[in-house]
Structure 1
Amino acid sequence: MRHQVMMGVVAAMVVPGLIACSANGNEIPKSNAVSATLWDPCYGISDDVLRTAGLLPATKDSGITRSLHDRQKICRWDAPESAYSVTVFSADETVTETELKPWNVDFQDVTLAGRAGRRFKIAGDSKPFGCNVLFAAEQGAIQIHVFIDPSLVEREQPCQRLDLVGRSIVPVLPR
């Protein structure tokens, strides 16, 4: 049950604000992004990388937004005992398009595993359970979202966990 509630919260927070590209001048024109084949995180991130990131490969869930499969690919994995989950979104939107959505706020430049990205929050999200980072990619962008079990937020912040998980995952993301 807790897993279902967490997935509902993740979907409500993240799905409206899906992915993008970079506002630092490296943005790919939309016409190129749409024509590119979307990278699939369920197959593009190896089990070894997931284990190094502290995730359980057997918890893979690729069906969380089947109706949007033409414009995005999404995959989610849990950590042991569902302490946190990581969702990777691959989409044809750009970072700029994501930044223009009114529900995505407080964008900041970050560097994670040597790659420039944009960290952001969801407007109205009063609880610090999730953290999002976008990375530019030829197809559009890749987003990593970490969701911490609400009972554990006092001990660990989601953006700190994303930084740790990102050390393993970011290097295998497409550019």
Structure 2
Amino acid sequence: MTQGLTLIAIAAAALAVTTGCSSEQAPAPSALFDPCTTVTDDALTRAGADPATRKPIGGADGWRACEWQLGTAQLRVYSTSRRPAEFDAAGAVLTELTVAGRTGRRLADPGALTSACDVLFDADQGVIRMIVVNRADVPEAGDACVTLSRAGAEIVPLFPA
């Protein structure tokens, strides 16, 4: 699992580096969806996450991000003005995954198998990214994409169009 998480971190860094320059005009960071302030405690509780564990997490310029404990996993939501095409251009392997009636694109990481699930949702501002990573100390945590879909049923409807 550590190798899978390492691959996700490498892929995220590669996407950040390869998508750093864009000819499209993006909204200012202050206009970005802020998951720490917009994802409500009520929605988090219904999703099975603990609102008290809310933690803003650092990221590359042009990103807003937040993390919560979700039972046997960590839930992370990222927001960026980067356009969906920039992820396609970065050579990421993407497959469709529908969560709460909204179609997203799952970043495939064969090394993570079922321990992590990383989905990109298109938005007018750019992309909203939702990731569930199973805790390494809980081997029976289950498929992270099943967990993401279940939690996403409550959280994805709060994402901007």
TM-score class, shorter: 0.7 to 0.9
Task: Report if aligned partners of 1:129, 1:153 keep a CA contact under 8 Å in 2.
Answer: no
How many angstroms does 1:149 deviate by?
1.5
Cα distance in 1 for residues equivalent to 2:11 and 2:47? 21
2:68 to 57, 64, 77: 77
1:140 aligns with 2:126: yes
Task: Report if aligned partners of 2:35, 2:64 keep a CA contact under 8 Å in 1.
Answer: yes
Inter-CA distance 95–45: structure 2 relative to 1 (3 Å threshold): same
Cα distance in 2 for residues equivalent to 1:14 and 1:154? 26
Q: Which moved more, 1:8-17 or 1:156-165?
A: 8-17
Deviation string 1:41-95 (CA, Å, 9 cap, x unpaired) is 0001000001111101111110332xx3x51100000024xx1010000001122
2:27 to 34, 40, 57: 34
Which secondary structure state, in structure 1, belongs to the residue aligned with residue 82 of structure 2?
Answer: coil
Q: Number of residues paired by the alignment?
A: 150
The answer for unaligned runs of 5 or more in structure 1 is 19-28
TM-score of the superposition, structure 1-length normalised?
0.74
How many angstroms does 1:126 deviate by?
4.7
Task: Report if aligned partners of 2:46, 2:154 keep a CA contact under 8 Å in 1.
Answer: yes
TM-score of the superposition, structure 2-length normalised?
0.80
1:12 aligns with 2:13: no
Aligned letter for 1:139? Q
How many angstroms does 1:152 deviate by?
3.5
The answer for unaligned runs of 5 or more in structure 2 is 17-22
How many angstroms does 1:117 deviate by?
1.1
Identity %: 30
Matches within 5 A, 1:1-175: 12=9, 15-16=12-13, 17=15, 30-31=24-25, 33-35=26-28, 37-65=31-59, 68=60, 70-80=61-71, 83-102=72-91, 104-105=92-93, 107-122=94-109, 125-175=111-161
Which secondary structure state, in structure 1, belongs to the residue aligned with residue 27 of structure 2?
Answer: helix
Task: Report if aligned partners of 2:67, 2:75 keep a CA contact under 8 Å in 1.
Answer: yes
Inter-CA distance 40–165: structure 2 relative to 1 (3 Å threshold): same
Aligned letter for 1:34? P
Which secondary structure state, in structure 2, belongs to the residue aligned with residue 64 of structure 1?
Answer: coil
